[in-house]
Amino acid sequence: MQFFKTILIVILLLIIGVAGFGYWSFRSGNLQKVVVNEVASQLIKNPSEKNLIQAMLGFEKPRTYLILFLNNTEMRPGGGFIGAYALLKLDRGVPNLLKVEGTEILDNSGKKDFESIAPAPLTKFLKVSRWYFRDSNWSPDFASSSQKSIELFLKQGGLGDRDDIDAVIGFTPTIIEEVLKIHGPIKINGEEFTSANFTEKLEYEVEYGYKDKGLEFAQRKNMLKDLAHALLSNLRYDVIKNWKRYYDLSQRMLVEKQMAVYSQHIDEQNILVSKDWAGKMKANSGDYLLWADANLGSLKTDVAIKRELNYSVTPTSTGKFIATAKMKFIHKGKFDWRTSRYRDYARIYVPMGSKFIKAVGTMESEKSNKVGAIDQGMENGRQWFGGFVSVEPGRTSELSFQYYLPESISNLIIQGEYSLLTQKEIGTNGVMLTLGLDFGKKLTSATPGEDAIKHGDNRYDFSTDLTQDREFKVLMGK
């Protein structure tokens, strides 16, 4: 399995090298040198794993990857707004870029007669008549989003057919920021990109700076190609020189869900899921919570939003347990070219059988004082509740959902055992998590443990962050 991990990370590192979606100029010798050296150091002996990786690199037949640039300063449930994409072919280890462009080009100039009904919030708040490729990652489960991305990409006239696309790889600009921390600044056409300014500078250039250069709207993302050249020229040697640092970075970015991979080949997808690299909504037998935000027409305002998620459980006199998930949105931005009022459609995913009680903080729209409606549904074996909230610059708003935990979870608590899986939304940064769980009975142990001063009562209080998925287990007297 280590062999699979090594070569997959090689592929991902190569993709990082063209994160700006330019074109590949790697020669097979360079690629094979990296692969062979690393494989030798790992001393892999498993023939089946070797065959699998050879297939992924296109040695059995060419492999095609749909690569999505997920802008996490404009959050979407599947990792961030899909601002650009690339179609990459690997043939016997040699990469060839088949297509690269902004998603708006395909959405505006592709097929106009396709049928695809958009989720209701997209229609209501973005005023779209169809479900477009750029909005395809509406599910927080990356496999589900990827399947929809492939479907809409092809419906709108994207190259190939479903069988031609072997896998989807999505990543956020956070990865490039981290890469530049290792490599250092790079210069493009006299302008310097650093880890600190990369995302903001790139966004400005493709949103406004292209006008200063006399470019047409359709040419506004041409800078991505120059950026790709610069990254590729530097990284193809720097990756070899600093292999261990890039290798560790790739693993961390996968764990922190700044990168996710979906394969249409079942054997590969099963391995990705087992390694927790697939951005999958996980199954579990205990309590569950995933909060998914969708920025709907708020520019890049997520960069200015600080999030604090609070989750509490309290007992009732009837033997039921009430759960409350509350998100605090602290808007630290202002009205400018990059940030605006935050218009967010939020959904929480909870265990099947949960019964909705109420929500506080939902809005009909950013211009209305009316309380917003609450939507409900089921997806990937989870119940979900959703609503809209708007946050003005410099203000703080809260949105909460309250519901009864299902009988299956209540029974586990009554038996003295409770577990919780909290999953991170793909692409998010800096979300804080606070738990306040009261089961009405004395706790005996917990993982992770509370501070000693809090031992011996009926509550489990714990604070952490959601840089990655978090799991908790609490035991109590029956």
Query: Pick from 56, 55, 53, 81: which is nearest to 68 by CA?
Result: 81
Average pLDDT over residues 288-314: 98
> Taking CA 248 as the corner, what is the angle to CA 247 and CA 253, rounded to the nearest 5 degrees?
100
* List of residues 6+ apart from 147 with CB closer than 8 A: 262
Share of the chain above pLDDT 90, in %: 60
Pick the residue with more confidence: 38 or 148?
A: 148
Under DSSP, is residue 19 helix (H, G, I), strand (E, B) or coil?
Answer: coil
Pick the residue with more confidence: 99 or 428?
A: 428
Residue with tokens 């579990």: 284
CA separation for the pair 273, 262 (Å, rounded): 9
Q: Is the pTM of this model over 0.95?
A: no
Q: What is the pLDDT of residues 25-38, one digit of tens each?
A: 334 445 444 444 44
268: pLDDT confidence band, cut at 50, 70 and 90?
A: confident
Residue 255 to residues 277, 281, 283, 385, 448, Cα–Cα distance (Å) = 7, 14, 17, 26, 19
Residues of 94-113 as b/e, b for ≥16 C-beta within 10 angstroms?
bbebeebbbbbebbeebeee
Average pLDDT over residues 447-465: 91
Give the pLDDT confidence score for residue 309 in this predicted structure. Answer: 98
454: pLDDT confidence band, cut at 50, 70 and 90?
A: confident
Burial class (CB in 10 A: 0-12, 13-18, 19+), 452: exposed
Residue 327 to residues 308, 322, 323, 438, Cα–Cα distance (Å) = 6, 17, 13, 19
315 bridge partner residues: 321
CA torsion through residues 366, 367, 373, 376, sign = negative
Give the pLDDT confidence score for residue 258 in this predicted structure. Answer: 95
Helices (H) then strands (E): counts for the chain: 13, 20
CA separation for the pair 6, 18 (Å, rounded): 19
Structural domains of the chain, ranges and CATH numbers in brackets: 2-274 (3.40.630), 287-476 (2.60.40)
Is the bond preceding residue 448 a cis peptide, omega within 30 degrees?
yes
Q: What is the pLDDT of residues 6-29, one digit of tens each?
A: 444 445 554 444 333 333 333 444
Average pLDDT of every residue of the chain: 86
Q: What is the pLDDT of residues 39-63, one digit of tens each?
A: 434 434 555 555 666 777 787 889 9
209: pLDDT confidence band, cut at 50, 70 and 90?
A: confident
- Strands (DSSP E) along 129-258, which ranges? 167-171, 186-188, 191-193
